[in-house]
Amino acid sequence: MSPIRLALVGLGKIARDQHLPAIAATEGIELVAVASRNATLDGVAHFATLADLLASGEAIDAVALCTPPQGRHELAALALKAGKHVLLEKPPGATVSELGPLIAAAQATGRTLFATWHSRFAPAVEPARAFLAARDIRSVAIEWKEDVRVWHPGQEWIWEPGGLGVFDPAINALSILTRILPRPVFLTGANLAFPTNRAAPVAAELDMADTAGVPIRAELDFLQTGPQTWDIRVETDAGDLTLSSGGAKLFHDGRPLIDERDAEYAGIYRHFVELIAGGASDVDVTPLALVADAFLLGRRSIVAPFEY
């Protein structure tokens, strides 16, 4: 079968750091075009916008949307209408309600819609899920603390409505949480700290529970300097299971079980190729719904202004 001809939209940090190498390393898919207003890639057809690309008649089968979440719905709807398969970076959109129409459009056109959660492809995630399936879980503690100035330098969109602030990275923890726990999770309370000059939170505390009443606590911070923390600790009847480094490492009672190189985006593109071959879609809005609930239920405090 000839490879899927892919166009990448939004040639920014994550596209360059992860998508380009993962696409190059994945069989069955090839990059044939880029749509980005301010960036080009040597040897690859370039268009300023997705609309220009679609109007040009350039032969593509699929698009990977690597733009910020605000505006992603419009791009995805345009691509599906043109009969293209669509891969969405996380979070899948700026709202939960915009995803229903995209799912319906993918069904109507028989195309694949894949809402990626890259952290679910981290090496510790499936072993943790298997371990927890058979255990009595007592509590879960998430610590997701990183330095926005290091990981999102100059990204103003992240502080705008729909940009999610500290939830931009923390939604990765929620995507892991909702994959590894055997029961559905819901939010019971939240505290959100907004800088005086920003529309998105810089820190948050979340209280959640699963349907068996297991308490789940998350502490999120976007101003962590020094060592960065991306940990989930699950207390069970058979000891503590800890996913650290965003799911690259797994420990059972402090004993290392997994410590593997990051291969999240290779997993994403393999799955995209499989979904297209099988005529299927994969859209799970649960992590985004938890974030939306934190905005609904969260008590807000105002903290010092943030500048890069």
Annotated active-site residue 90? The verdict is: yes
150 counts as binding ligand NAP under rule CB under 6 A: no
89: how many CB neighbours lie within 10 A of its CB? 24
Query: Chain-centre distance of CA 40, in angstroms?
Result: 24
13 counts as binding ligand NAP under rule CB under 6 A: yes
14 counts as binding ligand NAP under rule CB under 6 A: yes
Nearest approach, Cβ of residue 173 and ligand NAP (Å)? 13
155 counts as binding ligand NAP under rule CB under 6 A: yes
Alpha carbon distance 34, 224 (integer Å): 34
Residue with smaller CB distance to ligand NAP, 34 or 232 = 34
- Count of residues of this chain found to bind ligand NAP when the rule CB under 6 A is applied: 23
Nearest approach, Cβ of residue 94 and ligand NAP (Å)? 10
246 counts as binding ligand NAP under rule CB under 6 A: no
Q: Which residue in the shown chain puts its C-beta closest to ligand NAP?
A: 12
228 counts as binding ligand NAP under rule CB under 6 A: no
Work out the burial of residue 110: count CB atoms within 10 Å of its CB; fewer than 13 is exposed, 13-18 middle, 19 or more buried: exposed
* Binding region for ligand NAP (CB under 6 A) out of 12-20, 25-33, 141-149, 218-226: 12-20
157 counts as binding ligand NAP under rule CB under 6 A: yes
> For the chain, what is the largest distance between any 2 Cα atoms, rounded to a whole number of angstroms?
60
Q: Which of 159, 183, 170, 189 is nearest to 305 (CA)?
A: 159
Output phi, psi for 2, to 5 deg: -75, 150
Buried b (16+ CB within 10 A) or exposed e, 52-78: ebbeeeeebbbbbbbbbbbebbebbeb
151 counts as binding ligand NAP under rule CB under 6 A: yes
Side-chain half-sphere exposure of 7, counting CA atoms within 13 A: 29
Alpha carbon distance 54, 77 (integer Å): 12
Q: Tell me how far CA of residue 2 lies from CA of 188, 200, 228, 252, in angstroms.
A: 49, 44, 42, 44
Question: Binding string to ligand NAP for residues 66 to 105, with x set by CB under 6 A, is what?
Answer: xxxx-x-----------------xx---------------
12 counts as binding ligand NAP under rule CB under 6 A: yes
- Which member of 4, 6, 10, 174 binds ligand NAP (CB under 6 A)? 10
Contact residues for ligand NAP, defined by CB under 6 A: 10-15, 36-39, 66-69, 71, 89-90, 118, 151-152, 155, 157, 168
Show which residues are catalytic: 90
